[in-house]
Amino acid sequence: MNILERYHAMDYGPAPEARNEADAWLAAREFSKALFIGGDWKAASGGKTFDTSEPSSGKLLAKVSDAGSADIDAAVLAAAKALPKWSASSGYQRAKVLYAIGRAMQRHQRLFAVLETIDNGKPIRESRDIDVPLAIRHFIHHAGWAQALDKDFPGHKGVGVVGQIIPWNFPLLMLAWKIAPALAAGCTVVLKPAEFTPLTAILFAEICERAGVPKGVVNIVQGGPEAGAAIVNHPGIQKIAFTGSSEVGKIIRKATAGSGKKISLELGGKSAFVVFEDADLDSAVEGLVDGIWFNQGQVCCAGSRLLVQEGIADAFIAKVKTRMSRLRVGSPLDKNTDIGPLVDSTQLDRVRGLLADGAKQGAVCWQPDAALPSSGYYHLPTLATGVSPANILAQEEVFGPVLATMTFRNTEEAIELANNTRYGLAASVWSENVNLALHVAPQLKAGVVWVNGTNMFDAACGFGGYRESGFGREGGREGMFEYLSAKLPLGPAVKPAPVSAQPVEQAGGDAIDRTAKLFIGGKQVRPDGNYSMAVATAKGKLAGEVGLGNRKDIRDAVAAARACKSWPEATAYNRSQVLYYLAENLSGRADEFAARLTQLTGATAKAAREEVELSIERLFLYAGLADKFEGRVHQPPARAVTLALHEPVGVVGIVAPDSAPLLGLISLVAPALAMGDTVVAVPSERHPLLATDLYQVIEYSDVPAGAINIVTGRSAELAGVLAKHDDVDGLWVFADAEACAKAEADSIGNLKRVWTGNGRSLDWASDEAAGDAFLRRAVEVKNVWVPYGD
């Protein structure tokens, strides 16, 4: 046998990671007293425990205290007690604590890595080289944000006590993603780890003790659904941060509706991995291995849908199969292992069930010829070909080592297939033509897009999704905003609009009767139901009648907004010109609008004129900001730049207030238009004639048909229709508390981004009712990672 033959005959030998330190740590802990509340270790008040087992063998690791609602009460009380002093501490003081946490984790990073692998089942290389270093990076990075908070986020302060619920697939990393920005912002924390993987959170609590975290600032409570529900529903918590399934995310969204709690959801995904014919195929194969078989596919942003151009499909699939046959399935503590076990038998059963359903629907499933370990929850990597776009493997999140494959012919079809999902978390684009890649990336409905790479993360770069992948971001500047609040100029509670009895006393005059129509798709149209409602003057006389919009009118308006492609595709400069033109034309009719305000609201001539002038000023403000509220370029510690692009949310429904009916409507519509959103607006229910008078101004101001649609009618009713409409991407509601809560609860169909006034009015004339705070509501931040170099 010559040297070359010996080389090809070589095989991997075992390279086990020592676990003796982790086993010693396990043996020395009293896990029945593992709740970390107020700086002390406690048993669950009910004495309950749950088992955590080792996925590679099924053996019991520990019996961990199982928190109940009384324990959550105690943790929230401890966090609330610690909040005043922690939030009042200087940024430098908080920065020192965050840095101390990061440095202490560095000193114990091998123990963290081994514990993570034992408890979760992921290969030690991933825990050691990715999860733990990135968790440390988050704490040290956010130490900098803590000290820069006053300068970079003026007028903002921490939201208060934060409830955080994390999943089992990245136990330590998700903990770091959530706790680091919360502490930097001056918040205190009650965090619940997943039942399957509580161990590294317990070790982290020990780190907090050693690093000098003040008592009560960080509280970690292990537990199951009872503990999670208690956190979500607790009135002493001001924000909920959740990472997990879309189903649970919807439950949380509904449970918190009307509570006024800030909420961020990082949920499931069905990410597309798009390979064009000019891609470096060998690199794309390696990226694909990382994209779908990283952590056994138990990753929310896993590239589980392979879209490959037809001309290279056969050659690429052959390369993928060859590479799959060389993946090593085995002990996660072996440094040569590529694929470890799934986290639990229930997850293994779920993956098997979905795979069987996919095969019944026509998928051809292939697996490499490899033996599985005799114990543990292992599943072979699986390639599914012949997958139709409607196949369950192409639509449902499997959360296992299963790759569904489809082909496309051209760029347009690739984009259409990639966006054919209710999710929108991540995507990966492979092409040697950077122009093509950067042409495709902005068109993908995903919060993160990797160009010629995958699974790139950094504390400086935001991560989060669109659609049913949730809302909010973690990491970066936008991630800090999730734990901060700015004081809005709140006024008194909004009272529901009374349903006035018709007819209103007829006003005098010889004018020909005119009923204002709806404004949909650039045209004035009659309401579908052919009903109208009377509008009274401030003296109770009939000012006119407007159409009474219904469900179908909203449907038509949303369709018109969705069909308006020219507005979101217009340059920011062109949008600014149109907004300036709107302001110009409104200014030309200022006297008319002021007179209408006085007629409808009873405002003095001076006050009415001031509202009109301020409305014109608001249009000018957002016209000027349209091409200035821009994204950023991040430089993570890798050979890549990350483009944080501001993109329109999409179709935004707006339910405008009765207070300041002209200024309130324009203050909401203008920022949405400035950022490229298309709008379906429900104007003031009491004073809708101010909106109908705007129709002509809109018509001769070069606004594309469908960019602004106005449906008059009952605010609460139409807000509910917009909330339930799954083709509406965002909803802003300023109405009474019941209407606001219902809008939030009814929005769970597609998990649209909802912003309400929580039943309070705003001082629309104040400076705080304009500017960046409104523009941030009007954009999604998409992070596009672009590597460089050889």
Alpha-carbon distance of 117 to 108, in angstroms, equals 15
DSSP SS3 for 751: coil
DSSP state of 127: I
Structure tokens at 782: 């998409």
Phi (first) and psi of residue 61, to 5 degrees:
-100, -45
CA 774 and chain centroid, separation: 17
Q: Which two tokens stand for residue 420?
A: 């054919």
Residue 24 CB neighbours (<10 A)? 11
Cβ proximity of 71 and 221 under 8 Å: yes
Find tokens 């490229």 and name the residue.
676
The C-alpha atoms of residue 417 and residue 407 are separated, in whole angstroms, by 9
d(CA 181, CA 783): 18
In whole angstroms, what is the distance from residue 21 CA to residue 109 CA? Answer: 12
| Maximum distance among all Cα pairs of the chain, rounded to whole angstroms | 110
Identify the CA nearest to 535 among candidates 500, 565, 564, 568. Answer: 500
Say which amino acid occupies 174.
M
CA distance 672 to 651: 9
Instruction: Give the integer Cα–Cα distance in Å for 103 and 208.
Output: 11
Contact at 8 Å (CB) between 484 and 157?
yes
Non-local CB neighbours of 138 within 8 Å, separated by 6+ positions: 173, 176, 177, 180, 459, 475
The DSSP symbol for 496 reads: P
Burial class of residue 270 (count of CB atoms within 10 Å of its CB; 0-12, 13-18, 19+): buried
d(CA 664, CA 656): 6
- The tokens describing 467, both together, are 């659609």
Q: β-strand 730-733 against 779-787: which pairing, if any?
A: unpaired
Residue 685 · residue 587 · CB < 8 Å: no
Would you call 342 helix, strand, or coil by DSSP? coil
Exposure on the CB side of residue 497, measured as CA atoms within 13 A: 23
Tokens describing residue 268? 């499931």
Phi, psi of 408 (to 5 degrees): -140, 160
- Give me the phi and psi of 102, to 5 degrees please: -60, -45
Q: Looking at 266, 397, 474, 780, which residue is catalytic?
A: 266
Tokens of 203: 């070790």
CA–CA dist 259, 95 (Å, integer): 31
Is 461 known to be catalytic?
no
Query: Kind of pairing, strands 49-53 and 40-42?
Result: unpaired
Residue 187 designated active-site:
no
Measure the CA–CA gap between 36 and 192, rounded to whole angstroms.
Answer: 11
Which distant-in-sequence residues (6+ apart) come within 8 Å of 178 by Cβ?
Answer: 162, 164, 166, 189, 191, 241, 243, 474
Give just the sign of the alpha carbon dihedral 209, 211, 216, 218: negative
Q: Identify the active-site residue in 17, 116, 208, 300.
A: 300
Instruction: Look at residue 165 and give its three-state secondary structure.
Output: strand
Give the rounded distance of the alpha carbon of 291 from its chain centre.
Answer: 20
CB 782 within 8 A of CB 446: yes
Q: What residues contact residue 135 under an 8 Å CB cut-off, 6+ apart?
A: 105, 112, 172, 173, 175, 176
Determine the angle formed by the axes of helices 132-152 and 171-185, rounding to 10 degrees: 20
Among all residues, which ones are annotated catalytic? 266, 300
